Amino acid sequence: MGFEKLVGRALPAGMSRRTFLKAGTAAGGGLLIGVGLPGLMSEAEAVEKSIEFTPNAWIRIDSDGRVTMIMSQVEMGQGTYTSMPMLIAEELEVPLEHVALEHALPDQKLYGSPIYGVQITGGSTSVRGFWQPLRQAGANARVMLVNAAAQQWNVEPASCHAERGEVIHSASGRKLKYGALADAAAKQPMPEKVALKDPMDFKLIGTPAKRLDSPDKLNGKAKFGIDAQVPGMKIATVAACPVFGGKPAKYDEAGAKAVNGVRAVVATDNAVAVIADHMWAAKQGLAALNIQWDEGPNAKLTTDDIVAQMAKDAERTGIVAKNDGDVAKASAAAPVKVDVAYQAPFLAHATMEPINCTVHVTKDSCDIWTGTQMIGIAQLVASKVTGLPLEKVHVHNYLIGGGFGRRLEVDYVIQAVLIAKQVDYPVKVVWTRE
């Protein structure tokens, strides 16, 4: 299913107009800075119309001086939890290790990628997409903090500068920490145009940095989707038809339920799940099902059939993406010609952390705990499966133990929601490595 079909609109190829910044006061006091997409309403308009302000990313500076970045992108080993905070810290003039991170909630307008238009971590686009918006957010926040300090000291802002989370008056040496300035900075007008740093002045960007996510991954504090714990939760594992388009024809439900700890056997269109008190009971129950499959229209399909179909399709006229030079002429004049066909078998896109998704569906809500590269789409498909409005579907995103495209798919979210709909308690669905 394409992104356009899922989100119900065509996707922008990129941002053709300048990004702009809006600011407001954070709950409880402090400075909140957001990066807005072109064409979206201001925060004042949003408040007046009771419509959510829609920035790409946020900085929160609390009155105790803590800097928090609301992270729109997901960490799956590629380093976004370090590289993206560097963009903000560079322009905000704070040490990288002083930036705390929080997962963003699903919101396509608020956190949609400037490249794809949806909330996605993929295509190696996180830094590329948010390079300017995040730096601009940091720069604007820095200027507002400097202006607030200058106002308190009754000096010109140009006589002050920011450094390591403080504003310093160069002539007198007076200093104020960001936390002490947060409330006053929030009342400052948004600067119309703030120049970003010249790369020659970078202190963080382009330098080696210790990964911010490494300590918790080393000491075991890091939480991945498979670590989710919900009160009253049961564990499920599944057997899916080994052929696409197939479905379960017959299975021994009574045999599975005879296993100590098994609570339920649940079928979906192409799979059967066993729900139990723990994973071992679920696996034992699954083995006892003795499933017979109706393999459907693709039962006889082989790898050779797929290769032959691809070869046939390759003979058709393709879409021209770019046309540079004269390939036919160059090929005819080449002293050596090489013609090679490469084939690869159908392979699993396997992840180190097994695919998993925890779901609790009630009459008026759906909560999902998982690691996904498409948090907004995960929310959308769960809404469609349950029939609940988007605002009643809550996705709690976790660190991902290997994704790199596999968790751009939301098949496992759909499956887990279908299973959880059939029981009245939370279910953690975990695929075995097979």
Q: What single string gives the DSSP state of each residue in 297-339?
A: GGTT--HHHHHHHHHHHHTS----S---S-HHHHHHH-SS---
List the beta bridge partners of residue 100: 68
Query: Of 41-55, 312-326, 381-395, where does mean pLDDT reach its minimum?
Result: 41-55
Q: What is the rounded distance in angstroms from the CA atom of residue 276 to the CA atom of residue 264? A: 7
Between CA 319 and CA 21 the distance in angstroms is: 39
Q: Which residues pair with 33 in a beta bridge?
A: 23, 59
d(CA 397, CA 151) in angstroms, rounded, equals 41
Q: Give the predicted TM-score (pTM) of the model.
A: 0.82
CA distance 103 to 110: 13
- The CA distance from 39 to 253, in Å, is 55
> 155: closest CA among 137, 140, 176, 139?
176
What is the percent of the chain where pLDDT is above 90? 69
Residue 121 has pLDDT above 70, yes or no: yes
Residues 76, 351: Cα–Cα separation, whole Å: 10
Q: Tell me which residue of 112, 358, 59 sits closest to 232, measured CA to CA.
A: 358
| Strand bridging mode 234-240 / 427-430 | parallel
Number of neighbours of residue 19 by Cβ within 10 angstroms: 19
- φ, ψ of residue 41 to 5 degrees: the values are -70, 160
In 3D space, the residue among 73, 10, 11 whose CA is nearest the CA of residue 374 turns out to be 73
What class is the 225-296+349-430 domain?
Answer: alpha beta
Determine which of 106-110, 127-131, 326-330, 355-359 has the lowest per-residue pLDDT on average.
Answer: 106-110
Q: Which two tokens stand for residue 261?
A: 């700890």
Question: Residue 246 to residues 242, 270, 274: CA-CA distances in angstroms?
Answer: 8, 6, 19
**Would you state the pLDDT for residue 151?**
96
- The better pLDDT of the pair 419, 50 is held by 419
Nearest partner of 140 among 246, 57, 39, 247, judged by Cα: 57
Overall fold of domain 3-217: Aldehyde Oxidoreductase; domain 4 (3.30.365)
Averaged pLDDT for residues 226-247: 97
Spell out a b/e string for 373-389, using b for 16 or more CB atoms within 10 Å of the CB, else e: bbbbbbbbbbbebbebe
Q: Where in the chain is the domain with CATH 3.30.365.10?
A: 3-217, 225-296+349-430
pLDDT interval class at 1 (50, 70, 90): very low
Angle of CA points 322, 16, 135, to nearest 5°: 115
Report the DSSP pairing between strands 292-294 and 30-36: unpaired
Predicted confidence at residue 31, as pLDDT, reads 59
Between 191 and 199, the more confident residue is 199
Q: How would you write 232-289 as a 3-class SS string?
A: CCEEEEEEECCCCCCEEEECCHHHHHCCCCEEEEEECCCEEEEEECCHHHHHHHHHHC
Q: CA-based angle 211:208:196, to the nearest 5?
A: 100
Q: How far is CA 40 from each of CA 8, 23, 36, 53, 295, rounded to the nearest angstrom?
A: 18, 14, 7, 8, 49
DSSP state letter for 352: S
User: Is it the case that residue 115 has pLDDT exceeding 50?
Assistant: yes
Cα within 13 Å of Cα(43), Cβ side? 16
Beta strand residue intervals within 152-208, DSSP E: 160-163, 166-169, 175-177
**How far are the Cα atoms of 80, 179, 334, 419 from residue 68, in angstroms, in the given order?**
15, 12, 58, 36
* Per-residue pLDDT, 58: 72
d(CA 410, CA 241): 18
Judge whether 186 and 32 are in contact, CB under 8 Å.
yes
Residue range 336-354, pLDDT digits in tens? 999 998 888 888 888 999 9
Average pLDDT over residues 32-49: 39
Residue 107: what pLDDT?
A: 82
The per-residue pLDDT for range 266-320, each reduced to its tens digit, is 999 999 999 999 999 999 999 999 999 999 999 999 989 999 999 999 899 989 8
Flag the least confident range among 4-8, 144-148, 275-279. Answer: 4-8
Band (32; pLDDT cuts 50, 70, 90): low
Stretch 44-71: mean pLDDT = 58
User: Which amino acid is residue 383, in one-letter code?
Assistant: S
- Identify the pLDDT of residue 57: 47
Lowest-pLDDT choice from 36-40, 203-207, 211-215, 258-262: 36-40
